[in-house]
Structure formats: structure tokens, C-alpha cells
Amino acid sequence: MAPLRTRTIGQVTSRYRFPGIEEEGLYICRGHPSLRVREHRTNLASTSNMPTSHTVSTVQQTEQVPSMALQRPRDGTSFHFVVPLNVGGRHFTSTLPVLRKYEESMLAAMFSGRHLVVKDKDGRYFIERDGANFGHILNFLRDGRLPPVDKAKDVYHEALYYGITPLADILRRHRTIHEEEEVARWVEQCPTAQEKADEIANLLQKKFADTLSRKSRVVLQFDQDSHWEAVRHKVSGESIGNYYQPYDFDQDESHKDHKCPLPEIAMGEMSEHEKEKTLCFFDHFFEKLGYKMEVVPGVCREAVWSQQVSWPGEEVDSITVYCNKQIYTLTFT
């Protein structure tokens, strides 16, 4: 039997190679740095006196071996050092080291040789993506250059798509991106906010169809405990000032079913913090739809109970109790 031959590639030693057996290249599995054993069964009758059936075990270790440097494209061709690209119809030219800079990225995977990459009629590797901001991706891969501030949000989404994590991590600190992600996180925590935003948007469309006015108001109200305010009035109607809540009012149950007439959207019960975040979410949501929203807090102020009272030597006055529940008027322009 011929002696074993040893071949070293980087830090990987491939043993058990026999004459007459076609040598197979190393198979590196990215993400699995453990040892892999491949069994090869072959007929050695024509090359030695060994038994006709023999098992050869090849121990292959992937630690610290760049996978892309050891693999070839499935179609049997090699990538040239200079790589022509067609990204959504826009043409770019880069190099393999630049495209493979971040091993976990989509671009590194595309040009590692593990996948078939489609070419256009001119031989450029085609990527089905809007290429408007791809140049900023290449600039970051080349020398770490960041996009202009007004392009940060668009490039951030491209960085996520291509898996350029270092660029995405930097751009995530940008104000508009950070705010957008916080808004999305709030919608996940409070899905009612999105439902109410859609309800308001539908109401705005209906109001515009009815009036053709570019300015609309929507009144909403959060669930809350009843809040009453008693006011003393002169016969002329002039307000004298606040008054204690009359005993007769407390005994009268007619006002307990009072519903504020102004609110068009019922928001449900929320804490003050949740109210604030929901209103901020509305602002972000309607800004994307092309609206400018202004929030004006107020109260219902509908009279729900009244009683005349008189004091010796004074004119007959009246005590009126008003609903003091809070409402919010959203003005859209």
C-alpha cells in the first residue's frame, strides 16, 4: 500500500490520501467550527491489493479558515478580482475583497462561491434591489464612509437588507431611525394604537369627501372616571364661581349614564404615560400620510344637572353641574 500523504492548507491538515483516489477539496461549513468527518467508500481493487471495500475517514477542521478563500462557484468558474454589478438597473464596479469584507453579509455570501449568482446580458452580476443607495453601501465597505444625513434612513434599510451590521449599528443612532424603531416597538406593545390610527384615517377621508376642506378636526376621548364641576350662576347667567357639589345632585342618578357628545373616537382606558405615547404615535403615523397634526386638550363641559337656589335677602341663583371629562381635539392640515 502506498504511504499516506499529508497536505497542509493554512492550519488544516488533510490526511489519508491514497493513490488512485480523486482528491476532494476541503468542504468548509461556515458557522460550524466543529470537526466534521466525511466517509468515502471506493473500490481500490485496480490500484492496490487492499480489500475491495474500504472506508476512509477524513477529518476536517474549520477553525480560523476563511471559507470563501477555499471554495469555488458551483458552475465551476471563478470570480474575477474586479466584479461588475447591476443593482436594479444601476451599474457599479467593485472588487472581491470589498464585497467579502463582512463575512456574515449577504454580499459576502453571494460571492463566496456557494451560490449561483445570476448575470445580465452584459455579464454583470445582477441584484434585484433599488440601486439608488447602493453606492453608499460600497463607500462604507471601501473606507468606512457614512452617507449624508438626509440619506441615513434609506441607507439604514439597505444596510439591514444586505446584512452590513456595522453600518446598521451606526445609523441606528440617527434620530429619525431611532424614533421610527421606538414607534414600531410601541405599536407592538399597544396594537390598539394602530387600530385607532386607521380609524382616524378613515374618518378623515370621509370628512374630506363631505366638505373638500383641507383642514379637519377629530375629537377623541380616553376612558376615565366621571369628573363634575359645579358652578353658581346669577339669574342673568353670569358665573359667580365654583360651588360645592350639591347633595341633590349626588342623589340624582340621571347623570350617571352621561356620554360626552363631542368625541368621535373612543380610545379606551390608558395611563397618562400611555396617552402621551399614543398621541406621539399618531403624530408620526399621520406625518407619513402627509398630514400635519396638532393636539389641543380640552374638556367636555356639557351641563348635566341644574337646580335653582335662593338665599334670604338675595336673588334666586342657580347651580349647574358640568361634565369635566378630558377630551382631545386633533386638528389635521
pLDDT at 47 over 80: no
Predicted confidence at residue 276, as pLDDT, reads 92
Predicted confidence at residue 250, as pLDDT, reads 84
User: How many other CB atoms are found less than 10 A from the CB of residue 324?
Assistant: 13
258 Cβ neighbours under 8 A, 6+ residues apart:
226, 302, 304, 323
Average pLDDT over residues 273-297: 94
User: What does pLDDT average to over the chain?
Assistant: 79
- Can you give 191-243 as a three-state secondary structure string? HHHHHHHHHHHHHHHHHHHHHCCCCEEEEEEECCCCCEEEEEECCCCCEEEEE
Predicted confidence at residue 96, as pLDDT, reads 95
Cα separation, 245 vs 242, in Å, equals 9
In a 13 Å sphere around the CA of 239, the CA atoms on its Cβ side amount to 9
Cα separation, 109 vs 73, in Å, equals 11
| CATH code for residues 82-148 | 3.30.710.10
Average pLDDT over residues 90-99: 97
Cα separation, 293 vs 273, in Å, equals 20
pLDDT at 291 over 90: yes
Region label for 186, one of left (φ > 0), alpha (ψ between -120 and 50) or beta (otherwise): alpha
Strand, coil or helix: 302: coil
- Are 207 and 215 contacting, i.e. CB atoms less than 8 angstroms apart? no
Predicted confidence at residue 268, as pLDDT, reads 87
**What pLDDT band is residue 233 in, cutting at 50, 70 and 90?**
confident
pLDDT at 138 over 90: yes
pLDDT at 32 over 50: no
Q: Which residue has the higher pLDDT, 208 or 50?
A: 208
- Are 85 and 92 contacting, i.e. CB atoms less than 8 angstroms apart? yes
- Are 65 and 99 contacting, i.e. CB atoms less than 8 angstroms apart? no
Predicted confidence at residue 66, as pLDDT, reads 40
Distance from the first to the final alpha carbon of the chain: 89
Rounded to two decimals, the pTM is 0.60
Residue 292 C-alpha cell reads as: 400635519
**What pLDDT band is residue 319 in, cutting at 50, 70 and 90?**
confident
The rounded percent of the chain whose pLDDT value lies above 70 is: 74
pLDDT at 67 over 50: no
pLDDT at 4 over 80: no
Cα separation, 92 vs 99, in Å, equals 12
Average pLDDT over residues 298-311: 86
Give the residue carrying C-alpha cell 441584484.
Answer: 127
In the chain, where are the structural domains located?
5-65, 82-148, 191-332
Residue 117 C-alpha cell reads as: 449568482
Strand partners, 39: 57
Predicted confidence at residue 126, as pLDDT, reads 96
Average pLDDT over residues 135-154: 96
Average pLDDT over residues 197-213: 94
Cα separation, 326 vs 222, in Å, equals 8
Predicted confidence at residue 310, as pLDDT, reads 75
Strand partners, 5: 17
Q: Which residue has the higher pLDDT, 77 or 109?
A: 109
